Amino acid sequence: MTSPNHSTLTASELSILFGSYLDDTLAICMLSYFKEHVEDPDMKACVEYALELSELHVRFDKDIFTEEGIPIPVGFTEQDVNIHAPRLYTDDFILHYVQNLGIMGLGAYSMGLPKAIRKELRDHFTQCLQSSAELFNRTTELSIEKGTYVRPPSIPYPQQNQFAHKQHFLAGWIGEQRPLTSIEISLLFMNLYRNSLGEALLRGFAQVAQSKNVKKYMVRGAEISHHYCSVFSKFLLDDDLAAPTYGNFNPTSTTEPIFSDKLLMYHTCALINAGMSYYGGSMGGSPRKDLATAYGRLILEAGEYSEDGAKIMIDNGWMEIPPSAPDRANLAKG
């Protein structure tokens, strides 16, 4: 019998490796460009560490694909980025972008690890979790030191334990609303943070996109992120909580092409899909009906935007399909 540590890769393991390869080759393009332009030496060290991690992940994925006789995905290469193009983003933005890589890595690998059977994959994903945590801690500590870290809103400590005894706890459409819970505040804050970062990213992408369709898509995405920020901010402000504002995230005025339109589209669609996942989790953590309804509406709007992006990618031959099950009906015809 074949040992489970050397068994054929499962569909789950294939999906993780395929997604990781595309994401890390994209990250290499972004981080290589950032490395050329970041000025603060401490921030540059964080960029270099993140770049080393992505390169390590790509080498591991390639080795597995080669060992299993699987075609290596195309992903993204040095042809998708001009690292010598003018600066598009500030040091502050770059630091927060890299910090978010750590956050997303923690989420992705924590979901990937339970899906892995082979020991080498479990060991790899465990190491990826540890390095993602290290990246997040490094960038967070640095942003605190540099004074660019934005703290979530604070609330008074509770004086006693409380339990819900009325259905009013779930209300939120009509009449007096209960105050936001700390969980709801945390979710609103993180969604506001991610959309603030996304808006700045897409405004920069809109400036350097080459195709009119891609440029319009980036502008639309930035406007959606801006609207989502206002939605999350309003919930906080309505509860007399300060809605955080973020540092110097605005892109520079350069319009010289930096990234391929293929990279811009994949990056944007990946962020939108991740956002829908976050909104789904936020809906589950928000018992107040007006919050849950808002998250549901945002998921639908983001889904429409994501679908339009997929159409652009398909029309241009940019959508790389993950390993898929055989088309049995089509095989039977032949």
pLDDT digits (tens, 9 = 90+) for 251-302: 999 999 999 999 999 999 999 999 999 999 999 999 998 999 999 999 999 9
pTM of the predicted protein model: 0.92
The upper half-sphere exposure of residue 152, i.e. CA atoms within 13 Å in the direction of its Cβ, equals 14
The answer to whether residues 304 and 186 belong to one domain is yes
Rg (CA), the chain: 22
| The predicted structure's pLDDT at residue 174 | 59
239 found inside a domain: yes
Token output for 249: 């995230």
The answer to whether residues 19 and 100 belong to one domain is yes
228 found inside a domain: yes
The answer to whether residues 124 and 188 belong to one domain is no
Q: What is the CATH classification number for the domain harbouring 94? A: 1.20.1260.10
**Per-residue CA distances from 222 to 35, 40, 227 (Å):** 25, 27, 9
The answer to whether residues 129 and 185 belong to one domain is no
Look at residue 47 and give its three-state secondary structure.
Answer: helix
156 found inside a domain: no
Contacts of 202 (CB under 8 A, 6+ apart): 218, 219, 221, 222, 225, 268
- H-helix segments, the chain: 11-37, 41-68, 91-112, 119-146, 182-208, 212-238, 261-284, 289-315, 328-333
Please give the average pLDDT of every successive group of 10 residues along the chain, which has 334 residues.
66 95 98 97 98 98 96 97 97 96 94 94 97 98 92 89 74 72 95 95 97 98 96 93 78 96 97 94 92 95 97 97 78 70
The answer to whether residues 197 and 290 belong to one domain is yes
The answer to whether residues 90 and 183 belong to one domain is no
270 found inside a domain: yes
167 found inside a domain: no
The DSSP string of 147-173 is: T---PPP--PPPSS-----SGGGG--S
| The predicted structure's pLDDT at residue 2 | 46
The answer to whether residues 223 and 284 belong to one domain is yes
Per DSSP, what are the bridge partners of residue 107?
Answer: none
Instruction: Give ∠ CA 232-236-237 in degrees, rounded to 5.
Output: 110
The answer to whether residues 191 and 311 belong to one domain is yes
Question: Of the residues 100, 124, 146, which one is the last residue of a structural domain?
Answer: 146
Spatial separation of the C-alpha atoms in residues 27 and 100, rounded to whole Å: 12
The answer to whether residues 131 and 186 belong to one domain is no
Torsion of CA 162, 167, 169, 174, to 10 degrees: -150
**Boundaries of domain holding 46:** 10-146
Number of domains in the chain: 2
| The predicted structure's pLDDT at residue 1 | 37
| In contact, 14 and 322? CB cutoff 8 Å | yes
The answer to whether residues 310 and 268 belong to one domain is yes
The answer to whether residues 203 and 128 belong to one domain is no
| The predicted structure's pLDDT at residue 167 | 66
111 found inside a domain: yes
The answer to whether residues 140 and 54 belong to one domain is yes
| In contact, 266 and 313? CB cutoff 8 Å | yes
